[in-house]
Every structure is written in structure tokens, then in C-alpha cells.
Amino acid sequence: MESSKSPVEPHLFTRLLKEKVWGGTQLSAALGLDLPFDGPLGETWELSDYPGEETLVRGGSMDGVSLRTLMEDHQEQILGRSQPSADGRFPLLVKFIDAGDDLSVQIHPPDGPKSPTGVGKTEAWYILDHDPGAVVICGLNEGTSKEVFENEAGSKRVRNHLAEVEVQRGDCVFVPAGQTHAIRTGVVLCEVQQTSDVTYRMYDWDRLGLDGKPRETHLQQALEVVDYDLGAAQPTRADFESGDGLRRSDLAECDYFRLHALKVGTEGGVLNTDGFAHTLAVVGGVGRVESCDNSFSARDLVYGDSVLLPGALDCVRLIGEGDEGMEILMGVAL
């Protein structure tokens, strides 16, 4: 039964915590988390409509309602001009990742028959913290041949073909479907991606999983979706003009989303949605989101919070607090 309450307000969510063999301790410390498991924290899913992993609204008039229910009862208002995923889900998923160890060498399929769900996975990483000299793998070395790569992709010899990219805080690395990649040890990042969890592992560094057994790999499926025309990633650095107010740096754009970094000073500024659903992940500092027309109460925002702005919400006012203000990774669902 459709709810009589209006969903046209910012929605914060209760995060989902993911134990991973490659997880670390930096993220849980930064977020002040009391973990419900003994192993390391690898990911937090902050905003998700993935089947069985739907996040719940935290606070506001829709408190406790899942993003799935919002989409089922209020899709037109939630999406506005944005399009749902191919399977009718909210199209973007936001997560934080803490690589205490190397993630597997992996790849994601595009939309279509090479994905078991029909939905592919294109994503982008925004680097939040890292060990000195940290790198990510994103792409293959120039001149890598299909024949040689297929023979070596499932063994440690795959390392000979992987393009390592040095990263710093504020870098954005765009990872389209078909791009071979791996987040390496010591990197903490925020990821905006298609709503999908299809990952094909090629090589997992000869380690054991949390259960003491080798983790499953998917070499044949992975090799079927490698795009050899994609070169090594070239990170885009968030670059803000000086001043207060609301400043934006453009990071990435694809068929599924546009990605921007926002720097919000104490003077704040108005953010217009132009009718598209937006995701806002707080990746630095603190602040708040306010109504442009007094239709909802102001919401305090801290590091790690993720907010959904429905497409039917014309605008909000963002205010930073303290000396550093607030930094936001903004995804625009297309």
C-alpha cells in the first residue's frame, strides 16, 4: 500500500557493514564503528537498492523505510528525470572501502547477457586516505596481447600485465565495465557505482578466505569481458577554486552517472537538482543540509553519511561548519 507521506526530502541511511578477508581498520576507526564480527571491515554499503542488501532510511518522515520501498511506492518522485537500472532498481550504489590488504584482480561485465543479472557494473573511486606510495591497479599495460594475457591471467604472472597507478587523496579513478582492476593495500576510498554486485575474480594473490579455503575465482567469465581497448586509468584530481560558499570540481561522466566533488564553506550555497536524483557522500568535515522552502527540517551531516536527494526535490542548501567546512562526493544518476 502506498505511503501517504511525501518522500520529497533528503534521505540518510543506516549503513551495512561487510566483513572481508582483505579489510582493514582505518575505516572503522574513522567512522567510530563497533563491529558485529571478528574479522576486518572491508566495505560499508551506505546507500543501496541491491536485492537483499537494501539500506533503510534513518530519520525524517520516512524513518525505517527501505530504499526498495521508496522505489516501489514513489519511483517517479525519487528518480525524477533519472532512469532506473535495467532491473528496476535505484541506479546508483554508494560504498566506502578499506583495503587493509590487496583486493583480488577482478573485472565487472557490462549490461547485457554477460552479466547474470543483466546489469553491469561501472564504478568510480574517490581516494580518501592511503599509505605512502599507495597504488591501485586499473587497466592493462600498453601492448598486452589477448593471447598472452589469457594464458597468464589466472596465475601470479598476471602481475606482469597490470597497470599500477599511484594515487593521492582527492584523486578520482574511473573504472568502466571491462577494465581489469584491483584496489591495493593501504587505500581507503568512496565508490559510486551501478547497482550491481557482479564481480569476476581472475587472481586472488594465492591467499585463503575467512573460512580458511581459497576464494572462488571466475577466470573464464572474466576473460570474456576484458576490454583490451581500454588503456590504463588516468586519475582526475579534485580541484577547487579558492573562496567560501559552494564549489564544485567535475570528476567523471558516463552513461550511468556524473560524479563531482563539492567543497562547502560556512557561507554555504544552494544545490539545484535539475530534476535528477543525487547521492551525496560526506567524505570530509561536517555540516548540514537545509530546505530551500522550509519543507523539511535541517539534517546534520558528518563524515561517512550518505544522502539521497530525490529528483522531485528542486534544491537544497548545503552549509559547512568549522575551519575545514564539508567535502562531498556527489553522484548524479542519469
Please tell me the CATH code under which domain 11-237 is placed. 2.60.120.10
- In this predicted structure, what is the pLDDT of residue 231? 87
- In this predicted structure, what is the pLDDT of residue 51? 96
- In this predicted structure, what is the pLDDT of residue 241? 75
Where are the chain's structural domains?
11-237, 246-333
Q: How far is CA 182 from CA 14, 93, 139, 174, 242, in A?
A: 27, 19, 9, 12, 34
- Order across the sheet with 187-194: list the strands: 16-24, 41-47, 92-99, 187-194, 123-130, 171-175, 236-237
- In this predicted structure, what is the pLDDT of residue 26? 95
Q: Where are the beta strands (DSSP E) in 30-130?
A: 41-47, 49-50, 53-54, 56-57, 92-99, 105-107, 123-130
Query: What pLDDT tens digit does each residue of the chain (334 aa) get?
Result: 344 577 999 999 999 999 999 999 999 999 999 999 999 999 999 999 999 999 999 999 999 999 999 999 999 999 999 999 999 999 999 999 999 999 999 999 999 999 999 999 999 999 999 999 999 999 999 989 899 999 999 999 999 999 999 999 999 999 999 999 999 999 999 999 999 999 999 999 989 888 888 898 999 999 999 999 898 999 999 888 777 789 999 999 999 999 999 999 999 999 999 999 999 999 999 999 999 999 999 999 999 999 999 999 999 999 999 988 999 999 999 9
Euclidean distance between CA atoms 327 and 284, whole angstroms:
5
Task: Look up the CATH superfamily of 246-333.
Answer: Jelly Rolls (2.60.120.10)
- In this predicted structure, what is the pLDDT of residue 4? 55
- In this predicted structure, what is the pLDDT of residue 214? 87
Residues annotated as catalytic are: 201
- In this predicted structure, what is the pLDDT of residue 6? 79
Q: Say yes or no: do domains 11-237 and 246-333 share a fold.
A: yes
- In this predicted structure, what is the pLDDT of residue 211? 87
- In this predicted structure, what is the pLDDT of residue 324? 87
Q: Is the pTM of this model over 0.75?
A: yes
Euclidean distance between CA atoms 209 and 229, whole angstroms:
32
Q: Where are the beta strands (DSSP E) in 100-180?
A: 105-107, 123-130, 135-140, 162-166, 171-175
